[in-house]
Amino acid sequence: MEKKFFVETEQFDTNVANNFNTTNPLQITNDTLVNDFLNKTVSLESLIEKEIYNNKL
């Protein structure tokens, strides 16, 4: 009974990903920092810390 009700999520087409199967994130965003984040060499928390404390706010 539950399965009958839980199959219809709303569909929105943001499927541009299909056009970029062989593209790496750096080419998509042209952003070294984002690339570092995706490669797990920086964390979100370290970026927040840098913005607040290293920039001496």
Partner 1 sequence: MIDKILITKKLENFFIKTNPESFLKVFVISFLFDKTNYIEPIVGYESALNMLDKYIYNLENNIKAFKKLDKYHSIYAKYDFKAKSLKYYMTNDYKKFKNTSLNSEQKKAFIIKEFKIMMYKEFETITNIYTFNGKIVSNSFYIEDRNGRYPDYDGDFSNIIDIFSDVEVCNILKLNDRIKTYIDENKNYFVYSTHISQRNSEVINYVLLWRNFLNNKLYYFAVNNPKKYSEKFINEFNKEYEYIISSGKYNFILKNKDVFSLIENYLLHIRNRIDIENNIQYHQDLSVIFKMMNHKKHLTKLSEYLLHSSDSNNKLNYDKI
> In the complex, which residues of this chain contact partner 1 (CB under 8 A)?
2, 5-6, 8-17, 20, 23, 25, 28-29, 31-34, 37-38, 42, 44-45, 47-53, 57
CA–CA separation, 22 and 24 (whole Å):
7
Smallest gap, in angstroms, from Cβ of residue 25 to partner 1?
Answer: 5
26 touches 35 (CB < 8 A): yes
Dihedral of CA 18/21/24/30: which sign?
A: negative
Smallest gap, in angstroms, from Cβ of residue 19 to partner 1?
Answer: 9
Smallest gap, in angstroms, from Cβ of residue 5 to partner 1?
Answer: 7
Residue 14 tokens read as 């943001």
